[in-house]
């Protein structure tokens, strides 16, 4: 009997799973793949970015509100979700930057912070792991820490000598970095909006983009345009973070499908043979496991 394919996406905060790779996950769920989102922190120190939710009762119960938002997004995407239970580090601002708060995720020693993710990997047994690059996609301390524990757990989960108390060893076969906000995609969406006679929110972003190569080349583009509406619904479920009238939704899904119908990734680790570029995160794995 063919083995069921399994995909794990490791994220720093609730809402990250809906802004990075959500349409990919929804597509694979529709195809029968088991998908697990692992959320490292509760987003306790996140700002309220939607003016309609900037209310005292929301601020007073932000942890519970964000948990409820995550549950709603999980339901929309059709995925499973687990919390690692670390405390949001916040995004330090100022010059010089203030110290990180005591006990936050970014300050947990790597060996200790990696352990609960190893437990999740051994329990869920993913073939593919999605995470951030070493810069976190952007330099939030929780995103950087998420990369660090994902890379460490990828190696440790299959090693019987590491964390022997955390379950039977399991070795994931591929690890990818999200490449969500890259200049080529933004230029394509901007051009589609201009051509359609619509206002583009990307002009200043593109104008201020530092002219340097992407740190990681795109190796894998997953066609998932049919699931952009699912992604958008999951985003809107994170009401404290996402303004439904904001720039996230400036480019209608139909235009996006014509301009850039994929979500993009960099293949960082692979223990199976695959040919680049890919259009499937499970390329080389389907053949190996008979899926």
143 is in an annotated binding site: yes
CA distance 59 to 180: 29
Query: CA–CA separation, 89 vs 39, rounded Å?
Result: 14
Q: Element (H or E) spanning 286, and its range?
A: helix 285-289
For CA atoms 142, 283, 180, 83, the dihedral sign is negative
Is 147 assigned a ligand-binding role in the annotation?
no
Please enumerate in sequence order all residues whose Cβ is within 8 A of that of 24, keeping only pairs 6 or more positions apart, or say none.
Answer: 222, 224, 227, 263, 281
DSSP 158-215: T-TTSSGGG-S----SEEEEE--S-HHHHHHHHHHHHHTT---S-HHHHHT------S
Half-sphere exposure of 96 (CA within 13 A, CB side): 3
Residues 66/43, Cβ–Cβ less than 8 Å: yes
Is 264 a known ligand-binding residue? no
Tell me the C-alpha distance between 12 and 53, whole Å: 22
Closest CA to 269 of 116, 154, 138: 154
Q: Which residues are annotated as a binding site?
A: 13, 16, 143
Binding-site positions for Zn(2+) read: 13, 16, 143
């Amino acid at each position: 009997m063919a083995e069921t394919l399994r995909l794990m996406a490791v994220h720093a905060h609730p809402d990250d799973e809906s802004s990075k790779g959500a349409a990919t996950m929804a597509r694979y769920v529709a195809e029968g793949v088991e998908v697990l989102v692992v959320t490292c922190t509760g987003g306790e120190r996140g700002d309220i970015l939607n003016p309609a939710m900037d209310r005292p009762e929301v601020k007073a119960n932000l942890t519970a509100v964000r948990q409820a938002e995550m549950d709603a997004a999980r339901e929309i995407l059709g995925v499973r979700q687990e919390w690692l239970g670390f405390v949001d580090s916040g995004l330090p601002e100022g010059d010089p930057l203030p110290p990180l708060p005591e006990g936050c995720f970014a300050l947990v020693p790597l060996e200790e912070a990696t352990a609960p993710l190893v437990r999740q990997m051994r329990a869920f047994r993913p073939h593919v792991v999605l995470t951030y690059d070493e810069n976190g996609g952007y330099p939030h301390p929780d995103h950087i820490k998420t990369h660090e524990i994902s890379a460490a757990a990828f190696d440790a989960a299959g090693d019987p000598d590491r964390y022997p108390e955390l379950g039977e060893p399991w070795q994931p076969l591929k690890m990818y970095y999200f490449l969500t906000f890259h200049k080529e995609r933004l230029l394509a969406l901007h051009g589609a909006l201009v051509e359609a006679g619509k206002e583009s929110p990307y002009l200043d972003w593109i104008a201020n983009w530092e002219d340097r190569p992407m740190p990681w080349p795109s190796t894998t583009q997953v066609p998932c345009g049919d699931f952009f509406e699912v992604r958008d619904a999951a985003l809107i479920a994170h009401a404290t973070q996402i303004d439904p009238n904001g720039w996230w939704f400036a480019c209608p899904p139909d235009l996006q499908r014509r301009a850039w119908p994929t979500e993009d990734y960099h293949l960082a680790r692979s223990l199976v043979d695959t040919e680049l570029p890919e259009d499937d995160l499970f390329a080389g794995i389907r053949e190996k496991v008979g899926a």
